[in-house]
Structure 1
Amino acid sequence: MSTTLLQPARLGPLSLPNRLVMAPMTRNRAAADGVPLPIMATYYAQRASAGLIVAEATTPNAVGQTYPNIPAIFDPAHVAGWRQVTDAVRAAGGRMFLQLQHGGRIGHPETSGLTPVAPSPIPLPGTIFTPSGHRPAVMPRAMTAAEIRDTVADFAAAARNAMTAGFAGVEVHAGNGYLLHQFLATGTNHRTDAYGGPVANRIRFVTEVVEAVADAIGPERVGLRVAPGVTANGMQEDDPEAVYPALLGALAGRGLAYLHVVFSDPDQQLFRDLRAAWPGTLVTNPRLPWPGPLPADGGRHEGERLLAAGADLLALGRAFLANPDLVERLSQGAPLNPVREGHLMYVGGETGYTDYPTLDGTEKPAQ
């Protein structure tokens, strides 16, 4: 294993024991009202040896809910539920950020009780999972200027709630086809006001959200996640080579904790351009098969290539999902547990969640 992955690192005010980040992964184990359940504390505490855990996508308001049993962070009960999780992770020696994600058009009235909102009235292609199964996606409402302002404020309030819940910081999710990404992309943003059209307008909402969150809790506790060119959830981006350098240029001087780039490829020019444009910590998530089986090394080889190309931290998802002791396994060169794909990824209960064994063949208890 590359010694770089095991080296300590600094992240704003945090000292990280290694450079491995547990990437945020939706697991649908919260209550229907978004309150984190005790099983989530067990799951995250099992994985506390990660240099940093970024907890799964969490909605900052009710209309931002994507799928059933997604956690939230806009109500005192949500804060109390997350406090149990962060207390367990801290007791196990870990450090934890919370990802803030608004679904935008990725939502359904059957799940949230509300009509989804988006930059423009362009529906998600195909179906979406709801409490009663897959249903055709609904037409979202185009957000008004007032709703945009309110949503910016909701993100800032959610960040303050996350700090009250015991997180060390938050990650603003602007990728993978969710609301902030929808504003960046030409395929989902057909607005003609100050939030649509030219690149400078399409990045405006993301910069306003990030700046409001940074003002609320301090920029050194805020990360930003982007997914340039990613087509998940029906996304179409005609000009990522223009959008993302412009976005980074608008935020590079804010002193943020990190930039998190998903599906990074050190051989691509855009990766090199983003590394050059970002003066701070760069977290990268390697481009691995999805859907499809995870490589036997969990993405280690591709991750080492990214670190050699200038990344500072490496985010792995499914490898952490299946290996609560991933850091130990990688440090010893030990084999990894295979991921149990399929419905166990996104249903409640311990199976496929907290029952993956450690190297000694036992489930790692929460501490």
Structure 2
Amino acid sequence: MPSLFDPIEYGSIKASNRVVMAPLTRARATRDAVPTDIMIKYYEERASIGMIISEATGISRTAVGWAYAPGIWSKEQVEAWKPITKAVHAKGGKIVCQLWHMGRAVHSQVTGSQPVSCSPTKNPGHMHTFDGKAEPELAHELTIDEIKGVINDYKVAAQNALDAGFDGVQIHAANGYLIHQFIGDDTNLRTDKYGGSLENKLRFLKEVVDAVVDTVGPERTGIRFSPNGPSQGVFVKDNEHVYLEIAKFLNEKNIAFVGLRESSAKSTFWDTTTQPKIGKQFAKVFKGKLILNQEYTREEAIKAVEEGDADAISFGRATITNPDIVDKLKNNIPFVVRDDTVKYLYSQGVEGYTTWP
């Protein structure tokens, strides 16, 4: 019977325990999406976590419209990530880079260009910019040639991640961002080979996976989904059927790990859900390592791993206020909990970033 604290291998990534740090947008990079020195300490302090999944990291300027989020498309960004990955490795940790394209969920005030997506739709809610919140803009529908360009951006970003010292990458296909938009029923309105049938709606996802796997290998590749939506207005109606089809494809590609963010009626951050969780069904189909996420308690996390519902559990906000989360989980020490944690996700500076005990 496996334990949450047992070692685990995600393909070629050998982690010392089955606790995972979920990706968290922390907004401590520069306006040019270059990682900063305070990020070294932040990640280093959490290196006892079996595997760190970096904050969502843009594959191009067009891809990342979140103010002060980091990127991985330029040489300057690669060089700035190197001391971060080196610091994590020096403490015995593992870290993978989450590859991010936000699609329509950006604003031109940050990217310098119109948002792009599979179809000309608008993201709900407000966009985060350097000057505060802004109204969403209509997305430009990607042409076939532009889609090829985005796929190449994933290839370049994946190679850059390895060059920066990351142990692998995770493709962000969740939370209403570009890949999710292609899969969604209300966001993908295309009538060409990327729209209409399920096969066509999954084509972009599959081509991105192929590009990344060809670049870094399946043993260094993971992917993240939020299968029971909606997420930022993206809704997959027959979610169980769709994601089990995806699981079959990922098996064929020998993907190392999948992360599922599964909302529930009790979720307290971002969207809740109108669909049942599919983690158990997914685990029966997918043969790689499965990481589950969404506000797990210590007892729930231990039980899920022991009973085989998941190979590992990722924690998000708890890793902000508890850099020593693995020690606290092992010894049943209560987490530091702050009601204002969310405000520290998107602010700049060290407060709420590297100031936790």
Q: TM-score range by the shorter chain?
A: over 0.9
**Partner residue in 2 for 1:299:** 297
What are the Cα deviations for residues 327-353 of structure 1, in whole angstroms up to 9, with x where unaligned?
111111112111342422211111101
Counterparts of 1:175-324 in structure 2 under 5 Å?
175-263=174-262, 270-286=278-294, 288=295, 299-307=297-305, 308-324=307-323
Q: Which amino acid aligns with 2:285?
A: A
Deviation at 1:354, TM superposition (A): 0.6
1:77 is matched by which residue type in structure 2?
A: E
Query: How far, CA to CA, are the matches of 2:59 and 2:193 in structure 1?
Result: 23
**Equivalent residue runs for 1:7-156 within 5 Å:** 7-156=6-155
Distance 2:218 2:186 in 1: 30
Gaps of 5+ in 2: 265-274
Segments of 4+ moved more than 4 angstroms = none
Q: Is the 8 A contact 2:57 2:69 kept in 1?
A: yes
Aligned partner of 1:118: which letter?
Answer: S
Give unpaired runs (5+ residues) of structure 1: 289-297, 358-367
Q: Which residue of 1 aligns with 2:170?
A: 171
Contact 2:30 2:36 in 1 (8 A): yes
Question: 1:279 is aligned with what amino acid?
Answer: K
Further displaced range: 185-194 or 308-317: 308-317
Question: 1 CA distance for matches of 2:195 and 2:79?
Answer: 38
1:347 match: 347
Q: Give the Å deviation of 1:90.
A: 1.0
Task: Check the 8 A contact 1:20/1:51 in 2, yes or no.
Answer: yes
Identity of aligned residues (%): 37
Q: 1-side partners of 2:54 and 2:342: how far apart?
A: 21
Assess if the C-alpha contact under 8 Å between 1:50 and 1:94 holds in 2: yes
Note the alpha carbon deviations across 1:114-153, whole angstroms, 9 max, x for none. Answer: 1110010010123211111111100010000001111111
CA deviation profile, 1:253-285 (whole Å, cap 9, x unmatched): 2111101111277x9562222111101111111
Query: What is the TM-score with the length of structure 1 in the denominator?
Result: 0.91
Whichever residue aligns with residue 165 of structure 1, its letter is A
Higher mean alpha-carbon deviation, 243-252 vs 50-59, is at 243-252
**2: CA distance, partners of 1:231 / 1:347:** 26
SS of the equivalent of 1:172 reads strand
CA distance in structure 1 between the aligned counterparts of 2:324 and 2:277, rounded to whole angstroms: 34
Q: Which residue of 2 aligns with 1:362?
A: none
Say whether the 8 Å CA contact 1:199–1:242 is kept in structure 2: no
SS at match of 1:40: helix
When residues 111 and 21 of structure 1 are mapped into structure 2, their CA distance, relative to the original with a 3 A threshold, is same
Q: Distance in 2 between matches of 1:130 and 1:313?
A: 34
1:17 aligned partner, one-letter code = S
Distance 1:103 1:114, change over 3 A: same
2: distance between equivalents of 1:299 and 1:147?
43
Contact 1:117 1:140 in 2 (8 A): yes
- In the alignment, the residues of structure 1 paired with residue 276 and residue 143 of structure 2 have an alpha-carbon distance, to the nearest angstrom, of 37
Partner Cα separation in structure 1 for residue 166 and residue 210 of structure 2: 19
Which residue identity does 2:149 align to in structure 1?
A: D
Q: Which secondary structure does the structure 2 equivalent of 1:56 belong to?
A: coil
Match of 1:331 in 2: 330
Q: Residues 9 and 18 of structure 1 are in contact (CA less than 8 Å); yes or no, is this contact kept in structure 2?
A: yes
Given that 2:7 and 2:16 are in contact with CA atoms closer than 8 Å, whether structure 1 keeps it comes out as: yes
Aligned 8 A contact 1:219 1:254 in 2: yes
Q: Contact 2:48/2:93 (CA < 8 Å) preserved in 1?
A: yes
Aligned length: 345
Change (3 A) 1:123 1:352: same
Kindly indicate whether the alpha-carbon contact (under 8 Å) linking 1:299 and 1:316 is maintained by their aligned counterparts in 2.
Answer: no
1:232-266 CA distance string (max 9 Å, x none): 2122221212211111222212111101111277x
Q: Alignment partner of 2:232: what SS?
A: helix
How far the C-alpha of 1:3 sits from its partner, in A, is: 7.3
1:232 aligned counterpart, secondary structure: coil
